[in-house]
Amino acid sequence: MELNKILPLIVNDNVLHSKWLNTLSLMENTGARKISASEDPQTVTYIILKHAAEEHRHAFYLKKQIEKTKGDCPTYAPEFLLAPTYSKYYLNQLDVLVSRYLKQELNLSGKELRFAAYLLVTYAIEVRADELYPIYQDELDKSNSKVNVKSIILEEEGHLEEMINQLKSFSPQWEQHAQKAVELEAELFNSWVSALAAELMPSMAS
Ligand SMILES: [Fe+2]
Ligand SMILES: [Fe+2]
């Protein structure tokens, strides 16, 4: 994965590292706000509340880690982010594509569509988080960085399990739908990594 080439550059440069943390914080915050927005005010469950709270905590925790890089990224304005356009586009676009798929395949609308999109989008993101954060933590360890994301890794593992449980009760064909969401996510993630590469290693961008 190209990310393996990009991460050492990021972790060993305080300015890039602070922007990377801020970018992850933005993405966690976008995810948290999406979960909160999809909540049904009456039927929201313990698991959904827990999940939203933890994603909000991840956004805050990553923002706090920026202190350790001595960086300064006070807001999510583009100048404090890496690949700002793609970083903002990634989750919103995944939501659009998954919702379109659910409308076409399962004919869902309204509340049902919102809940199903929450399940599939969040599942795909949890699969990604379970891959991305451990790779990042390895790089942090190699560079003896003071930054660490171990508490996030632990919670993301729990989230994936919780999403699978919720998906199982959503549909007997959950695996087929989840696979589609993962495919849609992979395309968007690869574009995001390419955008990062183009920004950080312009000479190597194709
Ligand atoms: Fe998270
Ligand atoms: Fe999560």
Q: What is the pLDDT at residue 28?
A: 97
Asked if residues 20 and 136 have their Cβ atoms less than 8 Å apart, the reply is no
Helix, strand, coil percent values for the chain (each to nearest 5): 80, 0, 20
- The residue-averaged pLDDT of 173-188 equals 97
- The residue-averaged pLDDT of 46-60 equals 96
Q: What is the pLDDT at residue 130?
A: 96
Tokens linked to 5:
């080439």
Distance separating alpha carbons of residues 23 and 93, to the nearest angstrom: 17
Q: What is the pLDDT at residue 202?
A: 78
Q: What is the pLDDT at residue 204?
A: 61
- Please name which ligand lies nearest the alpha carbon of 156: 2
State the angle between helix axes of 46-65 and 14-38 in degrees (0 to 180), rounded to the nearest 10: 160
- In sequence order, which residues have a C-beta less than 8 Å from that of residue 176 and are 6 or more positions away? none
What are the pLDDT digits (tens) for 15-42? 999 999 999 999 999 999 999 998 989 9
Q: What is the pLDDT at residue 174?
A: 96
- Cα of 5 vs centre of ligand 1, distance in Å, is 23
What does residue 191 show for φ and ψ, rounded to 5 degrees? -65, -40
- Please name which ligand lies nearest the alpha carbon of 125: 2
